[in-house]
Copies of this chain bind each other. A is one copy, B any other.
Amino acid sequence: MKYTIAVIPGDGIGPAVTTQAKKALDAVAEVYDHIFLYKEAQMGACAIDKTGTPLPQETIDICRKADAILFGAIGESKYDNDPSLKIRPEQGLLQLRQELDLFCNVRPIKSYPKLLKNSPLKKDIISGTDIVIYRELTGGIYFGKKEVSKDGLSAYDVCSYTVEEISRITHLAFKAAQDRKKKVTLVDKANVLATSRLWRKTVAEIAKEYKDVTLDFMFIDNAAMQIVLNPKKFDVILTENLFGDVISDVACVIGGSIGILASSSIGEKNALFEPIHGSYPQATGKDIANPLASILSAATMLEYLGLHDEADAIQRAVEKSLDLGITTPDLKGKNQYSASTAKVGDFIADYI
């Protein structure tokens, strides 16, 4: 079969890790007799440098037409620390999420036996953890009106949600729970926020349609703590955009490394796959970035395209690289021999 894949390498270590993911996909193509047609597109700081905008129209067009989107990372520190800059790389990603209505961000968090030692958490706390976070991705304070006043003396951001926005991701979260441990935890701040109360009411209503699934509620402050104290208590976490951003990064420590976690952002018509780690500018160009999250994003993409055996092949190759310790420095103890970004990518492609 032939698939068109929009590839957005992005900023920082994005290009380096995406290159490895393509190697894995090429290996899959060869073994399983597919054609992956890559369409490269620009987004982020690199797009600002070249075109003046973080998301050129051409990128949107390529993404719309593709069967799936493989994305690297976004962001560059020069934009973070200069609040006067009106254009920022991240706007590209946010706008793409909105343009393609990628409302449902799915982040699986698992403890890999081989990486237990890499986690700051004790082994008995994390081993056996299996959580999936459903984060709403196109609403909330990310997309509400926002403004710094003309005199520069005040600013505001509006967080808003509609029942419709809440409902569509809630159904997906409950369906996911039905195939898992049948538990959904809604994370919110209903003791303070009106939007959280709307979430609580809407989700409680929808829960009645899923009699086999238990629903419980947790405030974000407590949830961010509980996910570190008792990660095994969670199954599906459902939450709004900003809380999802924070809790999924906290949850990363369970996996032992943010360098191996992939996420999917799903809409009605399009889907984007990316590592959870960001652009990590400090590591750019050093051939030390961990490509596993990007490679696993490619595997998740194959699942989405219905190519389950193919996805498994990548997954197995990644596990093999972990078993053999063919990994980048971030997964190593001090003074242990480590492989470069490209070496890890080559090994995985060869193994497939």
Residue pair A156, B157 in contact (C-beta under 8 Å): no
Assess whether A127 is interfacial by the CB under 8 Å rule.
no
Q: Given that A83-B197, A120-B229 are contacting pairs, would A163 and B157 also be in contact in the complex, using a CB cutoff of 8 Å?
A: no
User: Which residues of chain B have C-beta atoms less than 8 A from A157's C-beta?
Assistant: 158-160, 193-195
User: Which residues of chain B have C-beta atoms less than 8 A from A193's C-beta?
Assistant: 141, 146, 157
- A201 and chain B: residue at smallest CB distance: B83
A199-255, CB < 8 A from B: 200-201, 204, 217, 220-222, 224-225, 228-229, 242, 245-250, 252-253
Assess whether A57 is interfacial by the CB under 8 Å rule.
no
CA distance A160 to B156 in the complex (A): 4
Query: Nearest Cβ in chain B — how far from A192, in angstroms?
Result: 6
Residue pair B146, A242 in contact (C-beta under 8 Å): no
Assess whether A99 is interfacial by the CB under 8 Å rule.
no
- A125 and chain B: residue at smallest CB distance: B120
Query: Nearest Cβ in chain B — how far from A142, in angstroms?
Result: 6
**By the criterion of a CB under 8 Å from any partner CB, how many residues of chain A are at the interface?**
63
Surface stretch bound by B, among A30-38, A147-155, A290-298: A147-155
User: Which residues of chain B have C-beta atoms less than 8 A from A164's C-beta?
Assistant: 153
Residue pair A75, B191 in contact (C-beta under 8 Å): yes
- A257 and chain B: residue at smallest CB distance: B229
Assess whether A81 is interfacial by the CB under 8 Å rule.
yes
Residue pair B158, A158 in contact (C-beta under 8 Å): yes
- A153 and chain B: residue at smallest CB distance: B163
A172-210, CB < 8 A from B: 189-195, 197-198, 200-201, 204
CA distance A217 to B242 in the complex (A): 18
**13 A-B contacts (beta carbon < 8 Å):** A88-B191, A90-B192, A120-B125, A153-B162, A153-B164, A154-B161, A154-B163, A155-B161, A156-B195, A157-B159, A157-B193, A221-B245, A222-B249
Residue numbers of A with Cβ under 8 A of B are 75, 79-81, 83-84, 88, 90, 94, 120-122, 125, 141-142, 144, 146-148, 152-164, 189-195, 197-198, 200-201, 204, 217, 220-222, 224-225, 228-229, 242, 245-250, 252-253, 258, 278
Q: 10 extra interchain contacts, Cβ-Cβ under 8 A, other than A142-B192, A222-B278, A229-B253?
A: A75-B191, A80-B190, A80-B191, A83-B198, A83-B200, A83-B201, A84-B201, A148-B197, A153-B162, A155-B161
